[in-house]
Each structure stands twice: as structure tokens, then as C-alpha cells.
Structure 1
Amino acid sequence: FAQLPAGEVDRLLAQANRAELQKLVLRHLINARVPFETFKGAVTSAPTLGGEGVELNGDQPPTIGGAPVIQADVMATNGVVHVLGWVIPAPAPAPAS
């Protein structure tokens, strides 16, 4: 989150923007243990708790949602953390038909 533009974290923490902050955080959470080994050398996707799909790219260098994986497989008692180089951006809006 330190990579966000100056003032963005303060903006997101404002009460009026709590829904936006929640959506941003939930874009980074998958309701399953997904160690790097499960997508190493492959490209797949997984649903996030925010309801969006996120791409898991196990090629070199590995990325999640387009963000580089700085450190994979930090084991926690309630899951697996992959440290990312930046915040996963919101998906692009669907093209108008």
C-alpha cells in the first residue's frame, strides 16, 4: 500500500470511502490456501472475496493480478500470504456492447 499515490491511503481510510477500501482489500484475498506450487509454471485464476477473478501467473517472474510476487508462501495460521510488489488494480470495465 506504500506504493499508492501520496494521500491515497488517507483518502481510502475516510469514512465516506470505506466501501471502496473494503473492495480493494477483498480483491487481495482468496478463500482457499493457494501455495505457489499449485500455480507454478501455469496461468490460472481464482475468485477473490471481492467477487472478482484474479490471475495467478506462475511463470517467471510470477505475478498475481498483474502485481509481481516479491515473496511467495509466507505461511500463516489461517492461510498463505504472497507478498506483492504493488496493490492489485481494479479490473478494467467490460467493453460496451
Structure 2
Amino acid sequence: MNIVENITFSTEKANVFSIKKSDKIKYFAVALGKDAMLKKHTAPVPATLVVLKGEINFLIQGETINMKQFDVYEIPVNVEHEVVGVSEENLFSVAQEL
């Protein structure tokens, strides 16, 4: 399996690709084109975000966190956040502990 072969970098919306799902973990990749947005949402369980390619702005509680390739962020549970693509091609993974 190759993640990049299974996604597109759209400037209009996030493209999500499921890597693994079990009763203990949900692991997926999200691709964003430049200025594309993963709209406001919350994480109902502990989650770890890793930027694999490009650059994103992670917006949470009035703060913008600029993240680049290989940056890691622990997403807090039940806190509203959104993500915006900065580069032409942006790819990050999220692992949720179920």
C-alpha cells in the first residue's frame, strides 16, 4: 500500500485515506492542497498528528500552530480545532487510540 497513490491534494476539501482500523486504533492520512481546510471538529479520543509532507496551520483555541514536515502534535480530547494546508501538497497522519 502506498498512501500517495491513494489520495489527491485538492484545494477544495480534505482527502482522507484509512491506513488501519481496529477496535484499539484508527490510523488515517489526510491530504490537503494549498488553502484547503479540514473543517472544525473535535477528537473524541486521544490522537497524535504527524506531518508527513508539506506544511499546515493547526488552529486551536484561538491559536495558530504552524507545523512542518515531521512535526508531531498531541491533539487534546474534545477541543474544537481545524487544519489548513499551507504548501501545494500537504499530508499528515492521525492515530486515534480507541
Q: TM-score under structure 1 normalisation?
A: 0.30
Name the structure where helix makes up a greater proportion of residues.
1
Q: Kindly indicate which of the two structures has a greater share of residues assigned to strand.
A: 2
**Whose Rg is larger?**
1
